[in-house]
Structure formats: structure tokens, C-alpha cells
Amino acid sequence: LAPADRDALLAAGGDAAFFPAGSREARWLREAAVESFRAQSGRDDAQAELQRWIRFGAEEVRAKRDGMNPRTMELGFLARLWMERFMDASSVMTQDFRRRGVELAAEQAKRGAGFLVLWTKDESVPALLDAGRRWERVALLLRERKLAMHPMSQMLEEGAWRARFRSEIGIGGAPQGVDR
């Protein structure tokens, strides 16, 4: 990531920090991303929520116009084709789908320039809305610069990892987003 791009992202992010791929913090974030994804995919309630958000076929994508679909999941051509043709919502609850999801998250966590973390001073509604606006500014800036990010915030959704986050990363508030 070019220094000018990093600086622009941090300016747009406000209360944010960037941890380059080789840093101690990025190594911890990479491990936390994979292990919290593993923990979350092991929970049936979390997997059922994911099940409600994945759109498998082109017809479902056109009809719903929300959620995720195989074309947005960084899948290779054959994996994407397999998902579109032979999988449906019931596939999400299988052990094979969960295992492959963890494997994909592990591969994804290794790639990229590093991790961007956004935080808020507190957990108030105005602070959370502000964090969402800052995240959108970052996303728009990345698009403008022909760069991309990928949310990897399961560690903020899984209690054991969220509890360790501040001591491991050392940010100035409540973490609200982690993107690679």
C-alpha cells in the first residue's frame, strides 16, 4: 500500500489505525480473524444468519439484490461455478461448507497490505453511526483509488476475541471494524 494511500485512508477513517502485513499487530489480527471465524462458523445460530444472507443462483441475486453471492466471495472460477450450480441455502449448515469457509478465511487473511481498524470513543448510538459513516468514506476512497478492502470483523463479534482485542492491538477506544 503506497504511503499516500495509507495516509488518505487514515484521514478518511478518523479514529483508525493501519497495521502493515508484517507487523506484530497484523500477525495477531490474522490469527484472530481465522480463529474467530472458526469459532463463529461452529455456532449454529451464526451459521443460520449467514444462511439467510447468501444468494446462490443468478435468479436469487436478481430477486433479492442484497446479501453475498459467489461472485463477491473471492472464489476461483470452478468453486464459484460449483456454488452457483450445485449449492443452495441448506449447504451453509453442512460441516464441509464450514470447513471450507475457515480455509478460505485463512487464505484471505494472509493476503493484503495489512489491516485497518476503526474504533469509537464509546458505544453510544451517535458514535456508532459516526463509525459507519467513516467506514463508508474509507470504502468510497478505496474505490476511487482502485483499491479494495474486506471486512474481517468476526473477532469483534466473538466475545473471547473481542475481550483480548484492546490489549493486543492497543487502540484508543472500542473497536468497531477490522478490514484487510
pLDDT digits (tens, 9 = 90+) for 133-142: 999 999 999 9
- pTM reported for the whole predicted model: 0.87
Locate 90 and state its grid cell.
441448506
Rounded Cα distance between 5 and 166, Å, is 25
Question: pLDDT tens digits for 134-177?
Answer: 999 999 999 999 999 999 999 999 988 988 898 899 887 899 99
Query: Within the chain, where are the H helices?
Result: 3-13, 24-41, 44-53, 58-64, 77-86, 95-110, 125-144, 154-157, 159-169
Query: In 3-state terms, what secondary structure has residue 125?
Result: helix
